[in-house]
Amino acid sequence: MNIRQIQEARELYGIEDWGSGYFGIDDQGYVVAYPTQDETLPVRLMDVIEECVEKGRNVPLLIRFPQIIGAQIEKMHDAFTKAIEESQYKGRHRGVFPFKVNQRHEFIENVVSYGHKAGYGLEIGTKSEFMAALGYELSEDAMFICNGFKDHDFVDMAFAATAMGKNTVLVIEGMDELQLVLDKIEKEPDSIKCCPDIGIRIRLYSKGSGKWEKSSGEASKFGLTTIELLQVLEKIKQARLEDKFKLLHFHIGSQITEIKRVKKAIKEASRVYAKVCKMGFNLSLLDIGGGVGVDYDGSRTSFQSSANYSLSEFANDVVYMIGEVCEHEGVAVPDIITESGRVIAAYHSVVVTNVRKVQGTENEEILSDIGIKLDGKNELKCLDELLYILDNISRKNYVEYYHDSIEHYEELFTLFSLGYASLKEKAIGEEIYHRICHKALFFSSYEEHQLEEFEDLQKLMVSKYLANFSMFQSIPDAWAIDQLFPVMPLSQHCFKPTLKASIVDITCDSDGCVDQFVDRRDVKQVLDLHAPSADEPYYLGFFLVGAYQESLASEHNIFGAINEVEVSMDEEGNWKIEKLTEGDSIEELLVVRNYDSEALVKAFQSQLQDSCSKNKISEEEKARYLDKLKGYLKTLPYLIG
Ligand code: PLP
């Protein structure tokens, strides 16, 4: 046990900063989860993996901790309840979970059951989300918010939801959508008794901050401008639907990094709310959308991967601002609806997988296998020069010697291109040069401010850890929008990591590479990792992936959903596997791409028969190959072993 080293690891990976009390490293150097936020009740992630492997479910594996979903819902609701009590606000907090953030059935089931006590509802934005969400029985008080662009069928579904007893609000995105409601009532006058409440989404001048800033403000794709709002209000009056019109909604984008943007938007929206009330509309609900940021890097700053406020600060500011504006305008305060998804979902799941191999470390073994000695006799002068540099580079001369080595290395390539150097000489030169680069980097790390060229060299020289997963499937936002997720090894934290690494996935795409990592002060270009040993698997965890990643997952290279496990913790500290779900088999992945699995098997059969008829394989081999191929269709595409 090396307590000092373990503490260093906690700081190096920042687990206590971004882990939010849900993750840590135990005193044996293993990464643990605290599903109930009680540090005396840990679950070692390695133990979960081992149990799943024993049950025949291999990595990559998505580990879910449903209790964390419950804890986040409770934190959100409690923050508002406390803020409401403290400022003697007359309305309530009513949370809804936005379906698009994680549409997996298992996940939404957890949201609905853990959210029951707090009266959590659902927010949907498309017809398919609508149909899925309709299947859940929500608590009596829960809201059912229908956002998104609508057609006749969508509006019809909202009437059906109301008929089913759901507190449905149809949020109008434009005059055309209101017209659809009016047409429906005109055509089917009886339907008025199942007419959902009406909401209006407004477009604010105020913008969010961070990556999604562009999706808000005046240029936003969503929401009614002030002129359009006035037009729709007029139409509501004419149609005598005032008593159905209950809600105003806005959303200024996901992952809002700065609290001042929230305050500004709330101030503007509350003012609109109050003015609309004063026009004679009896509103009672203000839906402030989602956007609460997750502190992925643990820095608690306004950086893109962070947020400079806590949940209680957010709730206090929202409640205070709405209360203040309503008081100033002399209107009753609304119930506050939040549609936060990311902050509810992100923490609950971790993708874990094994490292298959490491590329880019020193090639000592290979050199001896192929009989190359670096310090042997050389005919090329540039090789001798490189060797001299390798032996004599030091902390005092490393910049100059590194520059000299580049010259000699280039000379070697010129000689090779002109036919004056052999393949063996090229191999020797490459290896010596790489070793010089490693030494130069080592010396440069002593500098208080590393020179830019060595920062660039660092990126080139990293060891590439081949991890058994698809970035496009498991952390698509890291590929698509450079989002940072905390990544770290799950064991060995008693030992100092010795290699600087990037992580490459097993897709056939060079984009499948994680080369930016969270850091409290900056973005790290390399991740500190241990040299994996042949004796035990080296597992990596990708944390805080519960929001959006499963919804956006792409099946690039036909890698589909990975195995999943739900883990819970009881009061005595015993954890157990609640559910183990198999990922997508090759057959399932092919079927959704219009392959007919029976036709595929027939095609395998006829081609094997052909080979058999030509005496290339025996009848027995034909049968064996066919059985194997049929079996492979049932397996997952990820690597085994
Ligand atoms: N509500 C609406 C209308 C949204 O578009 C979104 C996502 O951007 C959300 C809620 C959820 O936002 P977040 O997950 O950032 O809380």
Which atom of ligand 1 sits closest to the CA of residue 255? 15
Which atom of ligand 1 sits closest to the CA of residue 254? 15
Taking residues 461-480, what's their average pLDDT?
96
- Average pLDDT of the residues of the chain: 94
Residue 112: which pLDDT band, with cuts at 50, 70 and 90? very high
75, 76, 101, 261: residue to mutate for ligand 1 pocket, most atoms within 8 A of CB = 101
pLDDT per residue over 133-163, tens digit each? 999 999 999 999 999 999 999 999 999 999 9
Residue 420 tokens read as 């004056």
Q: What is the structure's pLDDT at 359?
A: 81
Q: What is the structure's pLDDT at 458?
A: 83
Instruction: Find the 62 Cα to ligand 1 centroid distance in Å.
Output: 23
Residue 212, pLDDT above cutoff 70: no
* Residue bearing tokens 């936003």: 220
d(CA 40, CA 34): 8
Taking residues 537-542, what's their average pLDDT?
97
96, 100, 304, 550: residue to mutate for ligand 1 pocket, most atoms within 8 A of CB = 100
Residue 215, pLDDT above cutoff 70: no
Residue 247: which pLDDT band, with cuts at 50, 70 and 90? very high
Q: Which of 56, 198, 36 is nearest to 569 (CA)?
A: 36
Residue 151 tokens read as 């057609």
Residue 277, pLDDT above cutoff 80: yes
Query: DSSP string spanning 534-557?
Result: SSS--EEEE-S--SSHHHH---GG
Query: DSSP string spanning 351-383?
Result: EEEEEEEEESS--HHHHHHTT--TTS--S-HHH
Residue 219: which pLDDT band, with cuts at 50, 70 and 90? low
Q: What is the structure's pLDDT at 90?
A: 97
Please list, residue by residue across 318-345, b when 16 or more beta carbons sit within 10 angstroms of its beta carbon and e when fewer do: bbbbbbebbeeeebebbbbbbbbbbbbb
Instruction: Find the 251 Cα to ligand 1 centroid distance in Å.
Output: 7
Take atom 12 of ligand 1 and give the residue whose Cα is closest.
290
Residue 370, pLDDT above cutoff 90: no
CB-CB contact of 301 with 288 (8 Å):
no
Residue 374, pLDDT above cutoff 90: no
Q: What is the structure's pLDDT at 362?
A: 60
pLDDT per residue over 25-81, tens digit each? 999 999 999 999 999 999 999 999 999 999 999 999 999 999 999 999 999 999 999
Query: Does the C-beta of 199 come closer than 6 Å to ligand 1?
Result: no
Residue 456: which pLDDT band, with cuts at 50, 70 and 90? confident
CB-CB contact of 636 with 562 (8 Å):
yes
Instruction: Find the 255 Cα to ligand 1 centroid distance in Å.
Output: 9
Q: What is the structure's pLDDT at 36?
A: 97
Which atom of ligand 1 sits closest to the CA of residue 291? 15
Q: What is the structure's pLDDT at 367?
A: 76
Q: What is the structure's pLDDT at 534?
A: 78
Instruction: Find the 100 Cα to ligand 1 centroid distance in Å.
Output: 8
Strand pairing category for 527-529 and 335-338? unpaired
Q: What is the structure's pLDDT at 361?
A: 63
Query: Does the C-beta of 338 come closer than 6 Å to ligand 1?
Result: no
Query: Does the C-beta of 337 come closer than 6 Å to ligand 1?
Result: no
Query: Does the C-beta of 291 come closer than 6 Å to ligand 1?
Result: yes
CB-CB contact of 256 with 293 (8 Å):
yes
Query: What pTM was estimated for this model as a whole?
Result: 0.93
**Portion of the chain with pLDDT greater than 70, in percent:** 98
Q: Which of 210, 322, 327, 296 is nearest to 259 (CA)?
A: 210
Take atom 7 of ligand 1 and give the residue whose Cα is closest.
254
Q: What is the structure's pLDDT at 371?
A: 76
Residue 498, pLDDT above cutoff 80: yes
309, 339, 340: residue to mutate for ligand 1 pocket, most atoms within 8 A of CB = 339
pLDDT per residue over 577-599, tens digit each? 999 999 999 999 999 999 999 99
Take atom 9 of ligand 1 and give the residue whose Cα is closest.
290
Give 551's Cβ-side CA count (13 Å radius): 16
Residue 317, pLDDT above cutoff 70: yes
Take atom 6 of ligand 1 and give the residue whose Cα is closest.
290
Q: What is the structure's pLDDT at 369?
A: 77
Instruction: Find the 79 Cα to ligand 1 centroid distance in Å.
Output: 19
Please list, residue by residue across 45-76, b when 16 or more beta carbons sit within 10 angstroms of its beta carbon and e when fewer do: bbebbebbeeeebbbbbbbbbbbbbbbbbebb
Instruction: Find the 340 Cα to ligand 1 centroid distance in Å.
Output: 6
Residue 452, pLDDT above cutoff 90: no
**Portion of the chain with pLDDT greater than 90, in percent:** 87
Which atom of ligand 1 sits closest to the CA of residue 339? 10
254, 344, 549: residue to mutate for ligand 1 pocket, most atoms within 8 A of CB = 254
Query: Does the C-beta of 208 come closer than 6 Å to ligand 1?
Result: no
Instruction: Find the 562 Cα to ligand 1 centroid distance in Å.
Output: 26
Q: What is the structure's pLDDT at 68?
A: 98
**Orientation angle between helical segments 226-238 and 175-187, nearest 10 degrees:** 10
- Sign for the CA dihedral angle at 179, 180, 186, 191 comes to negative
103, 251, 551: residue to mutate for ligand 1 pocket, most atoms within 8 A of CB = 251
Q: What is the structure's pLDDT at 214?
A: 65
Take atom 11 of ligand 1 and give the residue whose Cα is closest.
290
Taking residues 207-232, what's their average pLDDT?
79
* Residue bearing tokens 């008025």: 192
Instruction: Find the 523 Cα to ligand 1 centroid distance in Å.
Output: 25
Query: Does the C-beta of 201 come closer than 6 Å to ligand 1?
Result: no
Residue 532: which pLDDT band, with cuts at 50, 70 and 90? confident
Residue 450: which pLDDT band, with cuts at 50, 70 and 90? confident
